[in-house]
Chains A and B, each alone.
Chain A
Amino acid sequence: MVEIRGLCTQFDDVVIHRDIDLDIEVGQMLGLVGGSGSGKTTLLREIVGLLAPSKGTVRLFGEAVLDPDPERRRRLRRRFGMLFQQGALFSALSVHDNIAFPLRELHSLDEAMITDLVLLKLGMVELEARHARLMPAELSGGMIKRVALARALSLEPELLVLDEPTAGLDPDRSENFVKLLRMLQKELGFTVVMVTHDPETLAGLATRLAVLADQRIVACGTAAEVAAVDHPFIRNFFSAGRAAALRQGTG
C-alpha cells in the first residue's frame, strides 16, 4: 500500500532522513514513533506528497505520489485522507460544508446525495445532525478532531494518515477518539499511518511500530519485535512501564 524506497531528506545542511525503506501492507495500522525533531511529521508529509524528498521515492497503491501527470495525481489523492494535527478545518465553511467539500470537488454528486453522505459521516464520528450548521470556531477540540476525521473519511479512503490524532485532547476524550478510530477501521477496513507521541494512542491503535531515530528507521515490526531491538531510544521509550501496555495493545 505504501512503499518508501531509499528516501533521503535534507534541509540545507541538516540531514533529516538517510536512506529510509518502509513498507506498509493493506489493513495495517502503523505507528511512527521517534524523538522530537526526528522527522516523523516530515516523513508523513512526504508520504502524502506535501513535501518532495531530496532523494528516493514514495509510492502509494503502487503509484508515485509525485506523479508529473496532474490528473493521475489528483486521482491518487482521492484515495487517501489526512487528519491534520489541528484539524485544519476551513474556518470560513460550516461543518456541513467542510465535510461536503471533497464530495463537491468530484462534481458528480447532487446536493441531496451530498447532504445524506455528510449526515452519514457525522453519524460515523458520533456527532449529531444539528452540529452540521456550526462553524469550526464554535467547536470544542474533540469535536474539531471528529469533524476533521469525518472530512478525511468523506471519500472513503483506502489509506488514512493521522498526524498526532490525539494531541490536545484530555485522556478521556483521546481514549474515546481512539475507540472511534478503531471501530471505523474495523468497519471500513482502511490502512492507517500515524505519528503520535502518546503511548496510550499507540497501544490502542497501532498494530505495528516503526521507530525513527538517527535519521533512519531503526526498528519496524510489532511492539514485541521492536522492544527486542537494542537501541538507546527504544530502551528509553519502552521503559517507564510502557512496554506492557504496548505489548498488550499490539500483540
Chain B
Amino acid sequence: MAVATIEAVRQSDAVQLVLSGEWTLATMPQPISGFELRLRDLAISKPGWDLRPISRLDSAGAILLWRAWGRQWPASLAVSSGHRALLERVEGISPDLQPEPSAEPLAWITVPGRLALSAGNHLAGIVAMIGQLVLDVAYLSVHPRDIPWREFSANLYKSGAQALPVTALIGFLIGIVLSYLSSLQLRTFGADVFIVNLLGISIVRELGPVLVAILVAGRSGSAMTAQIGVMRVTEEIDALATMGVSRSQRLVLPKVLALAVAMPLLVVWCSAAGIIGGMVSANLQMGLSYGFFIDTLPRVVPVANVWIGLSKGVVFGVLIALIACHFGLRVKPNTESLSARTTTSVVTSITVVILVDAVFAVFTRNLGLP
C-alpha cells in the first residue's frame, strides 16, 4: 500500500503542494495528530494544493485535509471530481454538536430531591404490588383452578432446595468462628458453659435469619430481578398479557409465596448448621461434651426465639421477593438498565432486611430472653 506523501513544488513565486499515495486511515503516517500538525504548518503559507495524484482518499483523509485548511476551501485547489464530492460531504457536516447540557446550578437540592421522589415512587410501586397480591390471593381462593402450582414449586425448588448446601456451609462456618472467638473471651471469666446461651440466642434469633436473608437476596433475589428483567426486554411479559395471563399472578405471586415458605425452612436449616458448627468448635476448644450442649440448649434458649427466627424468615422472604420483582418489572429494554436494576434490587433488599431486623429487635425486646 502506498503511503500518503506530500511534495512541495516551487513554481515561480507560489508554492504548490502535490499530495499523492493513499490517504486513508490505514495508510496515513502515524500518529495521525502529528501528521495533521505538519499539514497545518504547511497550510499557513497558503500554498496551492494539487490532490489529483491521490489514488485513494477516505473520509478520515478528507477530514484531515479539511481541518488543515481551517474548515474552508483553499484558494487554489486541483482535485478529481470523486474526491471533490467527498470533500463537499465533509464540508456539509455540521461543525459541532450542541453544547452538552451543563451541570445544574441547583444540583445540591435537586439531586437529593430526585432521590427522595424516586424512593417514594418505588415505595408506592411496592405497596401497589402488595395490594395487587392481596387481590390475587382473594381471586385465587375463589378460583383455585388458577393457582400457579407449577411456578410455585419451581421457585420453591430453585430458591429453597438448591440453596441448602450453601446455607448449611455458611451457617456451619459462622458457628465455628463465633464459638471459637466467644470461647476465648468467656474463658477469661471462667464462664465457659455460657457458650451455649450465647450461641443459641445469637444464632437462632439473629444470625440465622439475617445470614439466610443476605444469601437468598444475593442468590435468588438477583436471579428473580434478572429473569423478569430479561422477560421485559424480550417482550415475554407483554406476550403473557396478550394471552390474558396476569403477570402478578403468574410471575410475582409464586415467587413471593415460594420465598415465604422456603425462607423459614432455610432459617431452621442454617441455624441448625450454625449450632452444630458451634458445638463442634466448643467441643474441640473447651472440651464441652455434645451431650451437655444438646441438653442445655433448650433450657437456656426459650422457644420464643425460634418463633422470632421463623417469623423473621417469612417477613424477609416476602420482602426480598417483592423487591426483586418490583425492580425486575422496572427494567428498561437495554443491558445497562438490566445490570443497574439487578444491583439496586440486591442492595435494596439487603438494606431493607437489616432495617426490618432492627425493627424486629425493638418490638421483640421483651420476648424470649431469660
Interface residue ranges, A against B (CB under 8 Å)? 78, 91-92, 96, 106, 108-110, 112-113, 115-117, 119-121, 123-124, 128-130, 132-133, 135-137, 155-156, 187-188
B32 A109 Cβ-Cβ under 8 A: yes
Smallest CB separation, B340 vs chain A (Å): 10
B93 contacts the other chain (Cβ, under 8 Å)?
yes
Kindly list the 6 A-B residue pairs having the minimum CB-CB distance in the complex, ordered from nearest.
Answer: A91-B334, A92-B336, A156-B58, A119-B93, A137-B334, A129-B94
Known: A129-B94, A130-B98, A187-B85. A92 touches B335 (CB 8 A): yes
CA distance A187 to B87 in the complex (A): 12
A112-B67, A120-B93 given. 9 additional CB < 8 A pairs?
A: A106-B25, A109-B33, A110-B32, A113-B33, A115-B97, A116-B67, A120-B90, A156-B24, A156-B25
Q: Is the interface of A mostly helix, strand, loop or mixed?
A: helix
Which of A92, A109, A112, A129 makes the CB contact (< 8 A) with B334? A92
1/0 contact string of B85-100 vs chain A (CB within 8 Å): 1100110111011100
Q: Is the CB of A113 within 8 A of B32?
A: yes
For the complex, give the distance between the alpha carbons of A212 and B337 in Å.
40
Most chain B beta carbons < 10 A, residue from A78, A106, A120, A128: A120
Give the bracket for the number of chain B residues in contact with chain A: 20 to 34
Report Cα–Cα, A124/B92, bound state, in Å: 10
A109 to B67, CA, bound (A): 13
Q: A96–B98 Cα gap in the complex (Å)?
A: 13
The reply to whether B333 and A137 contact each other, CB–CB distance below 8 Å, is yes
Cα–Cα distance between A132 and B31 once the two chains are bound (Å): 27
- List, in ascending order, chain B residues with CB within 8 A of A92's CB: 334-336
User: How far in angstroms is the closest Cβ of chain B from A49?
Assistant: 19
The answer to whether B63 has its CB under 8 Å from any CB of chain A is: yes
Question: How far in angstroms is the closest Cβ of chain A from B268?
Answer: 43
| Chain B residues closer than 8 Å to A91, beta-carbon distance | 334-336
Give A119 to B97 CA distance when docked, in angstroms: 9
